[in-house]
């Protein structure tokens, strides 16, 4: 299961493109809401969560995905339940963690980035990654470092989502989904 955390002010493109692409790859996805069943993103789009974040339960192979959007990142950071889920994914060697745009900076502040590991975030925020000991790879749309996948921002949402599919279901499945989307052709 991929749990996509939705807090008020989340970046809609990053959350919903990921959910769509993952579901096209037949990977189970749940939108986990912080603070209510309906969550409004940074551009005024309201999304109905599949479950409250407190009901998410990690199992082997699961992923926790943090979309960006400054408000959404603040919502995740301000929620004890959400941060417990994020830490649980980071500390479980059988789980995955993914963050895009401003969300990798939350991981930096929480001490959850791999020291010396490559990652990417929204341009201009990479100083927080460096301060946490990570190596910003700002020339990339998405970066996989072990069981952590990071993405640059809303314009790279498809690259990020396809990197998630490749990590969870393999390169062949990612290529099939890419072809079905007519992405990059």
> Crossing angle, helix 157-169 and helix 12-24, to 10 degrees?
40
| Cβ atoms within 10 Å, residue 18 | 27
Whether 121 is catalytic is no
* Cβ contact 7:79 at 8 Å: yes
Which residue is catalytic, options 95, 101, 119, 121?
Answer: 101
Instruction: State the catalytic residues.
Output: 101
């Amino acid at each position: 299961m991929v749990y996509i955390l939705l807090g008020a002010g989340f970046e809609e493109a990053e959350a919903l493109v990921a959910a769509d692409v993952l579901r096209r790859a037949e990977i189970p996805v749940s939108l986990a809401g912080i603070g209510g069943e309906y969550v409004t993103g940074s551009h005024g789009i309201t999304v109905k969560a599949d479950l409250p974040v407190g009901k998410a339960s990690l199992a082997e192979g699961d992923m926790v995905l943090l979309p960006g959007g400054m408000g959404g990142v603040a919502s995740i950071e301000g929620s004890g339940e959400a941060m417990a889920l994020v830490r649980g994914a980071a500390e479980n060697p059988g789980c995955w963690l993914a963050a895009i745009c401003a969300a990798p900076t939350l991981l930096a502040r929480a001490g959850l980035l791999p020291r010396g590991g490559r990652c990417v975030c929204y341009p201009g925020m990479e100083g927080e990654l460096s301060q946490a000991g990570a190596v910003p790879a700002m020339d990339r749309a998405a970066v996989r470092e072990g069981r952590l996948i990071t993405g640059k921002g809303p314009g790279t949402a498809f690259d990020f989502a396809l990197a998630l599919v490749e990590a969870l279901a393999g390169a062949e499945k990612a290529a099939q989904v890419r072809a079905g989307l007519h992405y990059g052709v």
